[in-house]
Structure 1
Amino acid sequence: MDIIKSLGIFFLAGLCEIGGGYMVWQWLKEDKPLWYGVLGAIILVLYGIIATWQTASFARVYATYGGIFIIMSLAWGWKVDGHRPDKWDIIGAMIALLGACIIIYMPRK
């Protein structure tokens, strides 16, 4: 699969997982209305569907997604909640992303 297309799918899946999870969190922890939770749950189901668009195996896709999720979670927290990542967050995220890219994009025999 083309790497750009694959990264786009990871990004879209990440938005759905983080956005859906955030909406459920807001409903349960921040007293938002029930529809937040319902919509968040629907978005989380979309995440599960979108992740299947990857062509690699389940294990590699989800391992890679973990690294990408770390970066996206830190970005979401910074832009949505105002929690700016520190240098250790950034270093850790880059290490995880490098490992994730090795897992999914390195050629196999």
Structure 2
Amino acid sequence: MDALRTFGLFGLTALAEILGCYLPWLWLKQGRSAWLLLPAALALIAFVWLLSLHPQASGRVYAAYGGVYISAALLWLWAVDGIRPASADLIGVVLCLAGAAVIALAPRH
């Protein structure tokens, strides 16, 4: 259950970070309303708060989170940008998630 909670929290964290970066991208690249910066800032605040909920040392949390973020970014590529990830992308995701699992779930003294 700890692993499910940890990776679920990482998933929410990744969504908050991607949303917090995507909304300003819409404003800068597609000429959308500057009002998008407000929910973007809130999403980035949520991102930082969600990262703080992990009980492990911050560096370890950031390292493990990186693998989950890469996975979420490729899901975003597919779901939002409409671009299907390539085989190499999927292999990379498996490797990243394996590394994240080793970092996040390894027993510690």
Q: Which band: TM-score by shorter chain?
A: over 0.9
Deviation at residue 38 of structure 1 after TM alignment: 2.0
Q: Which residue of 2 aligns with 1:32?
A: 32
Q: Which residues of 2 match residues 49-88 of structure 1 at below 5 A?
A: 49-88=49-88
**Preserved contact between residue 20 and residue 44 of structure 1 (Cα < 8 Å):** yes
- 3-state SS in 2 of match to 1:3: helix
Which amino acid in the other structure matches residue 104 of structure 2? I
Q: Number of paired residues?
A: 109
Q: In structure 2, what is the Cα distance between the partners aligned to 1:27 and 1:46?
A: 20
The unaligned stretches of length 5 or more in structure 1 are none
**Preserved contact between residue 18 and residue 73 of structure 1 (Cα < 8 Å):** yes
Q: What is the TM-score normalised by the length of structure 2?
A: 0.94
Which amino acid in the other structure matches residue 100 of structure 1? A
Q: In structure 1, what is the Cα distance between the partners aligned to 2:4 and 2:99?
A: 17
Pairing 1:12–2:5 present: no
